[in-house]
Structure 1
Amino acid sequence: MSQRALGQDSTCPPPKPGVLRLYSMRFCPFAHRTRLVLSHKNIPHEVVNINLQNKPQWFLDLNPLGQVPVLQIDDKIIADSTATSEWLDDVYPEKRLQPADPYRRALDRVLLEYISKMNTTYYGAIFSTEAEDIKEKMTEIEKHLKFYEDKLSAREEGPYFGGSQPTMFDFYFWPTYERYPVLSKLKKLPAANFDSHKFPKLASYGKAMLERPEVKALAFASDTHAVFFNGYITGEPDFDLCLEQ
């Protein structure tokens, strides 16, 4: 199936009975979470990419919120990055990602909720044009990174948040981590790079994740992310960036 993003003038590719389908966008950090889970578990599926600036009506009929990811199999439709990821983990229990310990799951839920705080500040900095505002947001982002550095330090077994092997939260956090260097590309901020002296645990986490096959298979270089983000800022995102004509 073509990776090109389908827009308003498209028709929905007919679903195949019993075939799992992911509605996605190649640069969406939230869809990235679900794609990592699918890749980690080697779950057979097909992908339909959506032009999120020019959404097809048939996609809005599936998910009126107009957001990705969305999973579909026969008459089952599941939206949201955490709902889709956890459904996949339950239905395909091999290489289980959610911690068995209820307390650990609760702690990871707190870590997940905190990502939204970091993302709000991060994207605010990306779209800001005021130097002082960007500086303030960078100070706040440093506090968020310190929060995750401390949490990783408390989990001594490392290098992942899940310990010696990644758990679900590692795949929730990674899309934010992968995109973080875009700040230094777009805003010319050396401080927006990961400092291995200041954040040694996060630096080790990044190196370990980048060696994982599911991460490698879906990764984009920070320069590519920067090109896509710049398109979003100017109102002309290229959803088909890096695809052959």
Structure 2
Amino acid sequence: MPTQKSFATGSACPDLEAGKLRVYSMRFCPYAQRTLLVLAQKNIPHEVVNINLKNKPEWFLQKNPLGRVPTLEKDDKIVYESAICCDYLDQVYPDNKLTPDDPYCQARDKMTVEVFSQFVSDLHKVMNSTPQENPESLQKVKNHLSQLESVITARQGGYFGGNAVQMLDLMLWPWYEYLIFAKVVPLERLSGVYPALCVWTEKMPEWPSVQKCRLDSRQFLELVNSIKSSITDYDVGLDQDS
């Protein structure tokens, strides 16, 4: 059943082999991207089933009543919500642990992710308008970047995890990838205002896990344009089933 195309209303649920881990995803969903990055970083074998989030299959809503991705399934166990999925994977597959051992450091990182959620909201507003139409949200995006610049500078080592990519890096990265693709804040301008974030943005794509999950910027922008046109094409770029 290898396919990247999304399953929609009326489709049949693909059979899941016993003992195999499946992640229900959407190719361009940053929340799902978090979990895919963790799976890649920890080298966890899995398969991906993409979901049409506008016309969700009935069987998917039975598995996850919230109807959101990512959702994990293995045998009779189902886990959903991106932060929960990522923490679950890090506990169930303890090799290459991604979260700090110290409880305070864990809490600190989770608080950073919570604050970051507002950045995500403002970023969506900016991406769906022009800077002239929504200057307040653009300024809020820049303010969030300044706050995160302070966080990563304090960590030292070039990553939010310090000297290596850790869970917090993977939780934040998908939105920075989108921010660069959409040219909300051009990368060439990051170096002068957010030097530590700029270094991080340049270093993250070098990691094998990020390379495995790398998005196609052209296809991403085509999806954004299709959303703006009210014709959301989750299968953009998949002219042939693959």
TM-score after normalising by structure 1:
0.93
Within the candidate set 210, 215, 219, 2:214 is matched to 219
C-alpha separation between the residues in 1 aligned to 2:145 and 2:220?
20
Indicate the residue corresponding to 2:155 in structure 1. Answer: 155
Q: Distance in 2 between matches of 1:125 and 1:100?
A: 37
Cα separation, 1, equivalents of 2:47 and 2:90: 18
- Cα deviation, 1:152-205, whole Å, max 9, x if unaligned, reads 11112x211001111111000000110002443xxxx6x454521111100111
Identity %: 40
Higher relative contact order by CA 8 Å / sep ≥ 6: 1 or 2? 2
Deviations 1:111-162 (A, max 9, x none): 1001110011010112236x54422211111100000001111112x21100
Partner of residue 58, structure 2: 57
Deviation, 1:219, is: 1.1
Q: Could you tell me how far apart the structure 1 residues matched to 2:234 and 2:91 are?
A: 31
The 1:182–1:207 alpha-carbon spacing in structure 2 relative to 1, beyond 3 Å, is closer
Superposed, 1:106-145 pairs within 5 Å as 106-128=107-129, 132-145=132-145
Q: How does 1:79-98 map to 2 (within 5 A)?
A: 79-98=80-99
Q: Which runs of 5+ in 1 are unaligned?
A: none
Return the alpha-carbon distance in structure 1 between the equivalents of residues 191 and 216 of structure 2: 19
Partner AA of 1:15 in structure 2: L
CA distance in 2 between partners of 1:20 and 1:69 (Å): 13
Q: Secondary structure at the match of 1:195?
A: helix
- For 1:56 and 1:135, locate their aligned partners in 2 and report how far apart those are by CA, in whole Å: 38
- Cα deviation, 1:95-126, whole Å, max 9, x if unaligned, reads 10011111111110111001110011010112
| TM-score, structure 2 as length reference | 0.94
**4+ runs deviating over 6 angstroms:** none
Following the alignment from structure 2 to structure 1, what is the Cα–Cα distance between the partners of residues 148 and 114?
12
Alignment partner of 1:229 is 2:228: no
Distance in 2 (CA, whole Å) between partners of 1:102 and 1:85 is 17
The residue matched to 2:190 in structure 1 has which SS? coil
Partner of residue 234, structure 2: 239
Offset of 1:223 from its aligned partner? 3.2
Q: Distance in 2 between matches of 1:50 and 1:199?
A: 36
Match of residue 48 from structure 2: 47
Q: Which residue of 2 aligns with 1:166?
A: 165
Matched, 1:11 2:12: yes
Cα distance between partner residues in 2 of 1:244 and 1:13: 21
Q: How many equivalent pairs are there? A: 238
Aligned CA RMSD, in angstroms, stands at: 1.5
Question: How far apart in 2 are the matches of 1:101 and 1:125?
Answer: 36
Cα distance in 2 for residues equivalent to 1:167 and 1:173: 11
Gaps of 5+ in 2: none
